[in-house]
Amino acid sequence: MGCLPISKNSAWVALFVGVGLLRAAIPAHAVTPAEADAAFAALNEVYWDPAAKFFRRDEHGGRKADFWFSAQLWDTVMDQYDRTHSAEARRQIDDLYEGFIEEYPDWTTNKYNDDIMWWAIACARAYELTNDERYLKKSQESFDFVYDNFLDDKFGGGLYWLNERTSKNSCINSPAAIAAARLAVLLKDPAYLEKAKSLYAWQKQTLTDGTGKVFDSIGPDRRTGRVRTRDFSLTYNQGTFIGAAVLLYQQTGDKTYLDDALKTADWTKANLCVGDARILRSEGQGDGGAFKGIFARYMRRLVDDCARTEYLPWMKANADAAWRNRRPADNIMGHDWSVHAGTKIESQTATSAVAMVLCFADEDAE
């Protein structure tokens, strides 16, 4: 599942409020290409099952990574291919997809619409990288299924998180805007751009406050039934809002989108980080383990596609902190990048850190 269950919200808010002492900053060094390769190799060594063509969820045992976690792991494989163009990573793109399709042949049976949308985004990216038409077809089919069946005017618009039609969440609407914007270019179909703009406009109006903070969701309170906005913020919602804004800025030239992305990045740095180096704070494991990698991926797009290099020192400091605090025995990184990694690290947590390292390794460093 790609978004926090409403029943867990209070626990997450308590976790964030409880993040107390800021740790002293340690000067960062650039993560080298060799270190980035080692991080990716470690992820495969510990979690990848080549026979099943699947990442395991845990370090030991045969349990496969969950639906939406697998999309993030696939994106990390693509992060590696994007930076190295290695034949091994190219094969793994296909292998992981084929293993996943064998396990989940019909994605429409998943009640979490965001799970489907994470795969729609990843499939669009896979097509961009490989020109394999099956990925574009699957991306379009997946986006269309969610958009055509779970969009209505309740709460002013937006997509439902669940097929049960309860709350409308950032974790479905910003990713859907990303998917639509990508499909607009890949299909050369301006109708998808209009969908992206509409989804983004609803997200911005309903689930942001203009400061750069992205809220979690809007929907009925379980106890009272009254509609309320859950206004806590998580790094992956910050990241996908940035990603949608960058894509729309690229396609429209409207500087408002870029301003939104910059404001969101700045708010994240000021409010969701610890220490002088502004290391993204822990969001735990489980769903939260995957969040920071998503943020890293879309910050990469802001830096590269919009030439906003002022964010590079911050992002490189995060990559350095995650790598420096890895487990020496196997190079696996944990959920709290400001302290040494512990035991029992799940694959979606490990891949989140690997994504940061791959996205912000310094290719000129030695």
309 is a domain residue: yes
11 is a domain residue: no
294 is a domain residue: yes
9 is a domain residue: no
pLDDT (tens digit, 9 = 90+) per residue, 120-176?
999 999 999 999 999 999 999 999 999 999 999 999 999 999 999 999 999 999 999
Model confidence at 11, pLDDT cuts 50, 70, 90, reads: very low
Prediction pTM value: 0.92
Contacts of 290 (CB under 8 A, 6+ apart): 68, 69, 72, 236, 348, 349, 351, 352
**Proportion of the chain above pLDDT 70, given as a percent:** 92
Structural domain total, the chain: 1
The residue range of the domain holding 81 is 42-218+232-360
Mean pLDDT in residue range 237-253: 98
28 is a domain residue: no
- The CATH number that applies at residue 70 is 1.50.10.20
317 is a domain residue: yes
Q: How far apart are CA 319 and CA 313, in angstroms?
A: 10
Average pLDDT, the chain: 93
Which helix (H) or strand (E) segment is 274 a member of?
strand 273-274
Question: What is the DSSP secondary-structure string of 5-53?
Answer: -GGGHHHHHHHHHT--PPPPP----PPPHHHHHHHHHHHHHHHEETTTT
27 is a domain residue: no
Task: Report the pLDDT value the prediction gives residue 364, as an integer from 0 to 100.
Answer: 80
99 is a domain residue: yes
